[in-house]
Amino acid sequence: MTAPHRDLRQMQQQAGELDAQLAATRHTARSADQLITATVTGQEKLVDLRIDDRALHSTHVQKLGLGIVEAVHNARSTARASSLPHLNALFGKPTPPPPTAGPAVPPQAAVAEPSRRPADPDDENFAELDFLTDDEPDTGGGRW
């Protein structure tokens, strides 16, 4: 067996081991209001979603969807940041430097509340979209 083939097989083996490690790793994050908790694998797949009863009985139930998206996004960002150095090492890329530290801000204060605009009757209906996956729905054409 030639050296390039050996290197390729070794890299494939290392990639398989890393994939198994990422699949077994769990990353958990919360929404800014701490009422929704999402857990994803190191591959960023959602494996658990917990919604505090207070979020369901709140006067602002319409914020539930935003909180879910926020918690899943936060968990996936944590998983991505954790796996990036391992992926870079596997492919021989340098690890980017960590972000510069700014003023210490508690995690719940770091997330800004989204701005609201008045409802427009021509707005698209998002009721049938799955915000927990990165897959785009197959609707047979059109924007979505």
pLDDT confidence of residue 101: 47
Count of residues making up the chain: 144
The mean of the pLDDT values for the chain is 77
| Both structure tokens of 53 | 């009863």
- Residue range 33-60, pLDDT digits in tens: 999 999 999 999 999 999 999 888 876 7
> Does this model's pTM top 0.85?
no
Question: What average pLDDT score do residues 2-21 get?
Answer: 82
| Both structure tokens of 129 | 């979209």
pLDDT confidence of residue 14: 86
Cα dihedral value 104, 107, 109, 110, nearest 10: 80
- Residue range 121-136, pLDDT digits in tens: 555 555 565 666 666 5
